[in-house]
Amino acid sequence: AEIVDVVDLMYSEFPYAALTVVIATYLVLFLLLRSVLLPLKAVILNALSLTASYGALVFIFQDGHLSSLLNFQPLGFIEASLPIVMFCVLFGLSMDYEVFLLSRVREAWDQTGDNRLAVATGLARSGRIITGAALILVVVAAAFVSADVVLIKALGLGIGLAIALDASIVRTLLVPATMRLLGDWNWWAPRIVLRVLPERGLEH
């Protein structure tokens, strides 16, 4: 009964905490990028990699696929704290990569005024660093998969999958592609709002 109460308490408060994080992230990115759409796109793409990792964990640890390969006994459910811990870790890591990439793109946009060139330049300046940092985290997370405790094993696998997906598909393909499609709308913001903002965004 106590465990059920704890789980109910966690998940009754978690949506509000997650919403607060998302709103705060949007506002910080708006100040940094001076754009309405880019912070929204960043949040959506972060949610994409996060939910993909959730799906993988359900497929592997709840449904029991690959249990013999990963050496664990499926329990038929996911540890209640796992989605919350993963949200906290992965949202922060993914957003850090996003900020690093978009800040470089913004710098190039300020210099050239050409959206296509700014996206290509920003990706060229940040791509190797993001990939290298992600590779290190994937290796560290992979070490957790060898743990005997299923929770640690699932956490390591979930983080590793999400970071690999984020660095290989989201940052290198989806972010540049969506920015290319949006064109100059990437940098739109109401003039009345821009007037009260500092001339330069926040430094990363």
Is pLDDT at 121 greater than 70 in this prediction?
Answer: yes
Find tokens 């430094």 and name the residue.
203
Q: What is the rounded average pLDDT of the residues 8-36?
A: 89
**C-alpha atoms less than 13 angstroms from C-alpha of 82 in its C-beta half-sphere:** 24
Predicted confidence at residue 198, as pLDDT, reads: 65
Under 8 Å between Cβ of 166 and 141: no
What is the SS3 assignment for 75-144? Answer: CCCCCCCHHHHHHHHHHHHHHHHHHHHHHHHHHHHHHHCCHHHHHHHHHHHHHHHHHHHHHHHHHHHHHH
Under 8 Å between Cβ of 59 and 130: no
The rounded percent of the chain whose pLDDT value lies above 90 is 37
Predicted confidence at residue 202, as pLDDT, reads: 47
CA dihedral 27, 28, 33, 37 (to 10 degrees): -30
What is the SS3 assignment for 11-42? Answer: HHHHHHHHHHHHHHHHHHHHHHHCCCHHHHHH
Would the CA dihedral through 176, 177, 178, 180 be positive or negative?
Answer: positive
The domain made up of 2-194 has a fold known as: Multidrug efflux transporter AcrB transmembrane fold (1.20.1640)
Q: Is 68 exposed, middle or buried (0-12, 13-18, 19+ CB in 10 A)?
A: exposed
Domain ranges of the chain: 2-194
Q: What is the rounded average pLDDT of the residues 158-166?
A: 91
pLDDT in tens, 39-79: 999 999 999 989 999 999 999 999 988 888 888 888 888 88
Q: Which residues are within 8 A (CB) of 180 and not within 5 positions of it... i.e. 6 or more apart?
A: 115, 116, 119
Dist CA 33 CA 38 (whole Å)? 8
Predicted confidence at residue 105, as pLDDT, reads: 92
**Model confidence, pTM:** 0.82
